[in-house]
Structure 1
Amino acid sequence: MSLLHRQVRVFWPDLTAGQKVLGVGYASPCLRAWPGLQMNPVSVVLPHYDGVKRGGAGLRDSMVHTLVGEAGVLPFQSESFDRVVLMHAFQTQRQAVRLLREAAQVLRDDGRMILIFPAALTGRSRLKHTPFARELAFSSYTIKRLLDLACLKAERQEKMFFLPLTWECKNAHINFVSDIAGKMFVPGLGSLCVIEVVKNINAPLTLPLPVWQRRWRRYISHRPAFLRSFIR
């Protein structure tokens, strides 16, 4: 967790005391990276988290205000937070889009968001014995498509944990050196993705198809495959 704290502080080194921070999923461990905040961060734990199923075990945290909420309806007004962290939050791609849109709704226009999830390439297998091993993993193409659907865009991305966690040394300095070496020599093979995201105010809106085009596509969908190959 010390490596993750170091990484999110690299993304947000200027987090001031008056800014409001929200965590979604189960982000309380990550929110402790900024102990000097004037207002304690707020964490919305989703119902699929194991601690909720066990009756709230492990959800109490003196540094974070914790509540249980749904992915599609966050109980906050629009543009309420300066920063949002999503960790242990994604179950399916459809749920991820709905959650990203809801998180963008409560994020201010100049705010920033961090997404933390396992990488699609052997990410979960190298994160055994952690909650990430049971989560949905995304490739670079998939996460870009999900961000486009939520009218968001990635500003920068880093990957972490280039070795299986069972090989990691308990010395924090050695772990930091091995992480830097992985970013230098094999930057695409990290197990955990950390992406900083902002609102895409120039995102195109999806317009409805004209009536004639909808009818034409419906007609072609019942034709042989060689005819459908001509339609884009």
Structure 2
Amino acid sequence: MTTEVHGLLGFYRSPGGAVAARLVRDRLAALWPMLPGQALLGIGHAAPYLDLWQREAERCIALTPAHGTLAPWPPATAEGQARSASLLAEEEALPFADSSFDRVLLVHGLEAAEHARRMLREVWRVLRDDGRLIVVVPNRLGIWAQLERTPFGHGQPYSAGQLSRLLARHLFRERQREAALFLPPIGLRILSPIATPCEVFGRAILPRLAGVVLLEAEKDLLAAMPAGAPAKRRRVVMPAQASPA
């Protein structure tokens, strides 16, 4: 990771971080309401969100880049611990076989990746043929990307259009978008009572000014298939005429 994501564990343990996590979780739950029997991989710092699906998932893995700090996950009281695990590994060389997962959640990962192209190539590899990906990134147009007091203020922010085009270049087809964190990243604990109405209002009126962009995409197998060799034009070669005696 080229950019150290500062204070991830401390942020999510703080009251303000808990508010932010709740608002992002609401949007993730809207995109993926249930994942029964699915194999789920979280990359970056996905631990605050994976328990949305942990009980019903077939297995649930939280992968932290090798340079990061391993989050304590799964929670000690979580059901289905035998099917859950956390590990440190290189995001550019995921330690999984091809087509290992049905879903991948990438949060606090893409914006700090040293080689985004390699990471997305690995995500495409480990996803099954009908697999889906959710990427959560700081919104380039939002205030959260401008202030370094939260982890969303570090790394490379993206607009929704930039993120969609990036994924398309790496063989993912966009399915749907969401937006979250319309509150300013200041005084979140105090603003918590009005957080939900602000989110509803922001998504309806000013979706481009959200703090984070959430984009769901699916593995695009057709884009990976070669178009085939171009048809060859037939050349007709006329026999040489004999010169007159």
Into which bin does the TM-score normalised by the smaller protein fall? 0.7 to 0.9
Give the Å deviation of 1:139: 2.2
Taking a change above 3 Å as real, the CA distance of residues 84 and 170 of structure 1, as seen in their structure-2 partners, is farther
Kindly indicate whether the alpha-carbon contact (under 8 Å) linking 1:93 and 1:146 is maintained by their aligned counterparts in 2: no
Alignment of 1:219-230 (within 5 A): none
Q: In structure 1, what is the Cα distance between the partners aligned to 2:224 and 2:123?
A: 19
1:82 matched to 2:112? The reply is no
Quick one: which of 55, 61, 71 aligns to 2:74? 61
State which drifts further: 166-175 or 66-75: 166-175
Quick one: which of 158, 166, 174 aligns to 1:154? 174
Quick one: which of 51, 75, 84 aligns to 1:32? 51
Give the letter aligned to residue 120 of structure 2: L
State which drifts further: 101-110 or 34-43: 34-43
Give the letter aligned to residue 60 of structure 2: P
Across the aligned residues of Structure 1 and Structure 2, the Cα RMSD in angstroms comes to: 2.4
1:14 matched to 2:34? The reply is yes
Q: Percent identity?
A: 30
Q: In structure 2, what is the Cα distance between the partners aligned to 1:85 and 1:72?
A: 15
Kindly indicate whether the alpha-carbon contact (under 8 Å) linking 1:97 and 1:147 is maintained by their aligned counterparts in 2: no
- Indicate the residue corresponding to 1:137 in structure 2: 157
Q: In structure 1, what is the Cα distance between the partners aligned to 2:167 and 2:45?
A: 20
- Greater relative CO, 1 or 2 (CA 8 Å, sep 6+): 2
- Indicate the residue corresponding to 1:224 in structure 2: none
Give the Å deviation of 1:136: 1.5
- Indicate the residue corresponding to 1:178 in structure 2: 198
Kindly indicate whether the alpha-carbon contact (under 8 Å) linking 2:43 and 2:64 is maintained by their aligned counterparts in 1: yes
State which drifts further: 85-94 or 192-201: 85-94
State which drifts further: 75-84 or 34-43: 34-43
Q: In structure 2, what is the Cα distance between the partners aligned to 1:134 and 1:206?
A: 38
Taking a change above 3 Å as real, the CA distance of residues 124 and 135 of structure 1, as seen in their structure-2 partners, is farther
Give the number of the structure whose alpha-carbon radius of gyration is greater: 2
Structure 2 regions of 5+ residues with no counterpart?
1-20, 79-83, 228-245
Kindly indicate whether the alpha-carbon contact (under 8 Å) linking 1:127 and 1:164 is maintained by their aligned counterparts in 2: no
Structure 1 regions of 5+ residues with no counterpart?
208-232
